Amino acid sequence: MADNKIRETFSARELAIVLSHFDLGITSSIEEFARGSRRAPKLVVQAQRGKFLFKRRAKGKDDLAKVAFTHQIQLTLAGQNFPLPHLFGTRDDNNSMLVWESNIYEMFEYIEGTGYDASLDATFHAGKILGLYHKLLQDFRSDYKPPQGSYHGAKAIQQAIRNTISSLPMEKRPSAEELTETVRALDSAYRTCAKEADKLGLRQWQEQIVHGDWHPGNMLFRKGHVVGVIDYDAARLQQRVIDFANGALQFSILGGGEDPTAWPDYLDRTRFKRFLRGYDAANVISTAELQAVPFLMCEAMIAEAVLPIAATGSFGRLDGFGFLKMVRRKTDWILAHAGELVNVLAD
């Protein structure tokens, strides 16, 4: 069986041919960029025309129409000075992608930046940039029909919650009573939160193109500001609150250590507040949207946990059942403090 942990690379012939399609000038260095998916090889290319990140798309992420759609989004944003790595076109036709021997290649401007440092300035700016993203794409239209599913009220998530019962490894499985009670509590919380969000009118709110995966790992920072937003593959059509509620969760959740049962119940309320205030500074949040945020955060947290656990019995390297118990505690805390959370913009 092949080792799926081996990082794919470019062949010398492949690289010589595909790079010849880009007018980079004299190339001074080419180095492997060993980050992101192992199935999508990347290189940092230093050339006369600048510094670039060159990428071959992974199989399964190379649907031509979908890639063209994500490029259309990026080009639209780039034309309005949104912070993202600009696509560099091909030599002959200035195409934003190169197709060669059934592979898709992309050349991006390389942006120098650091990861998220959890500072309040960086958190505020991450929220503000998401608000700007939604504002700039509010009227975006495309011939491509984007996906519309999300973590909200999804039957696939409900099924995954139930599937966690049988997915946990036998040697680490708790008593049947404890396992069943935990899974039932998560199932009930997920369904209740979806219903409460829908009662606020979420299904009737305007849909638009959203990022779909707004978390610290998809941003580059410099001096507390977002200088580059990456990964547009999850872009889809849905209500914007589904996007910024997940963002608020990602920028305020607290973990720590290899034992999820020791993680705190509570969120970082200050970061939660800064993220939403940042968003509101760029794109005003309605009262109803704000009321939906705690419910959507719980849905997002449950969905993110149960999908991998249902498939593998664990959450990465972390114990699956311990992770489920942690998510239950955090869900209970968010719902118990929902009143405080929705007043965050009034403080």
Q: What is the CATH number of the domain that holds 284?
A: 3.90.1200.10
Among 46, 80, 109, give the residue marking a domain's end.
109
347 lies in a domain?
no
Query: For residues 14 and 28, what is the distance between their CA atoms, to the nearest angstrom?
Result: 19
State the pLDDT at residue 257.
87
134-166: pLDDT as tens digits: 999 999 999 999 988 899 999 999 999 999 999
Residue 16 has a CB neighbour count (10 Å cut-off) of: 10
Q: Does 126 share its domain with 96?
A: no
Q: Where are the alpha helices (DSSP H) in 38-96?
A: 64-78
Residues 103 and 207 in one domain: no
Residues 286 and 148 in one domain: yes
Q: What is the mean pLDDT of residues 314-333?
A: 96
Number of domains in the chain: 2
Establish if 115 belongs to a structural domain.
no
What does the pLDDT read at residue 26? 95
Q: Which helix (H) or strand (E) holds 115?
A: none
Assess contact for 190 and 161: CB atoms under 8 A: yes
- E-strand ranges in the chain read 27-32, 42-47, 50-56, 98-100, 103-109, 207-210, 219-222, 225-229, 236-239, 314-315, 318-319
**Does a structural domain hold residue 210?**
yes
pLDDT score of 190: 98
Tokens of 67: 């890639």
CB count in 10 Å sphere of residue 105? 20
Rounded distance between C-alpha atoms, residue 309 and residue 315, angstroms: 6
The answer to whether residues 152 and 253 belong to one domain is yes
Last residue of a domain, one of 84, 109, 134: 109
Same structural domain, 223 and 244: yes
Distance of alpha carbon 271 from its chain centroid, rounded?
18
Residue 316 has pLDDT above 50, yes or no: yes
Q: Which domain holds residue 269?
A: 120-342
What is the per-residue pLDDT for 3? Answer: 41
| Model confidence pLDDT, tens digit, residues 15-72 | 999 999 999 999 999 999 988 889 999 999 999 999 999 999 999 999 999 999 999 9
**Claim to verify: residue 170 and residue 244 sit in the same structural domain:** yes
Residue that wins the pLDDT comparison between 294 and 346: 294
